[in-house]
Chains A and B, each alone.
Chain A
Amino acid sequence: MPLSPIIDRLGRTLRGRNALLNVFELWVGLAGILTGIVFVYSGLSIESSAIDIAVGREVALAWNIGYFMAGVLIWWGLLRPSPRMETVALWGIGTSTAIEAIAVGAVFGVRGSVSVLLLSSLTAAAWIRATIVLHAALQLSLESAGRARGAPQ
């Protein structure tokens, strides 16, 4: 795929009505992508280490793959644009950060409370955003169907 359409779409995503939310989403998605890359190169990261200790290596591996995929899907969903994939990614990111919060809480206890709070907030933000995008897309779909049925002949 040539680069210029991607840059064009990125520009539109960053200039649109929900520009700030989109930037935040892209940033969160980038965190997932970077965590996945770090895990592939080093086999360790702060996030997956906590899950490794709290739950197990297999869950940590699955978590890394899921977090990475959610990050990629956020970028894909926003740049394509595909609200469906974006919503799926937001559910995935929210789940990943929630599991991370549980793991950090289990391993570090009170010392990790700030991280737990931040990760929980991120989970809430991702899931709320996913719900809003889902409802908006469904509403748009219903309105489109209504317009198509009620259009003058």
Chain B
Amino acid sequence: MLLSSLILPLAATGSSNLTEILVILVGSGGAVGIVATLLRMPTDRSASAVTQAQGAMETMNMLNATLKQALADAQAEAKRQRDRADFYRAQLEDITGGHTHRASDRSISAAALRRGMKLHPDDEDGGD
């Protein structure tokens, strides 16, 4: 409506004025589009920063998952070793009448063999 109200009277008065007005209108439209683009669109640098932040976030999440898995593995291994130590400690307590001593896993399993103790299932495949 605004455009037609501007253009139609000009069209009646002369083509050169109309041409100039149209050029100004189109040029203004293009300028508005350019300015709106520059204002609304993220700059390449900020877009790149967002991409880098996302990459860092994904790496952090991956590391987090890896650490959680490693922690779970370590906890499972610790539990297995505790069970093994409890297994031999219980037998040693039976043999020694309750007297236990600190010893390495290897020496415990060796002593267990010498005293005819049962081996823990983890030590059965070639354990000493």
Interface positions of A (Cβ within 8 A of B) = 54-55, 59, 80, 82-85, 87-88, 91-92, 94-96, 98-99, 102-103, 106, 127, 130, 134, 137-138, 141, 144-145, 147-148, 151-153
Contacts and interface: CB of A to CB of B under 8 A. Distances in A.
A127 B33 contact: yes
Given A103-B19, A138-B40, A91 B34 contact: yes
A141 B53 CA distance: 13
B56 to A, nearest CB: 10
Given A130-B33, A147-B54, A151-B61, A99 B23 contact: yes
B70 interface: no
Given A103-B23, A106-B16, A87 B54 contact: no
B37 A148 contact: no
A102 B22 contact: yes
Chain A contact residues, majority secondary structure: helix
Contacts of B51: 144
B16 to A, nearest CB: 7
Contacts of B53: 148
Contacts of A138: 40-41
Contacts, number: 83
Nearest to A87: B37
B43 interface: yes
A148 B57 contact: yes
A80 B54 CA distance: 21
Nearest to B28: A95
Which 4 A/B pairs are nearest by Cβ-Cβ distance? A95-B30, A91-B33, A106-B19, A98-B26
Contacts of B64: 153
B74 interface: no
A92 B34 CA distance: 7
30 contacts: A55-B19, A55-B20, A55-B23, A59-B23, A80-B44, A84-B37, A84-B38, A88-B38, A91-B34, A94-B30, A94-B33, A95-B26, A95-B29, A98-B29, A99-B23, A102-B22, A102-B23, A103-B19, A106-B18, A127-B33, A134-B36, A134-B41, A137-B41, A138-B40, A138-B41, A141-B47, A144-B54, A148-B50, A148-B54, A151-B57
Given A88-B38, A134-B37, A151-B61, A82 B44 contact: yes
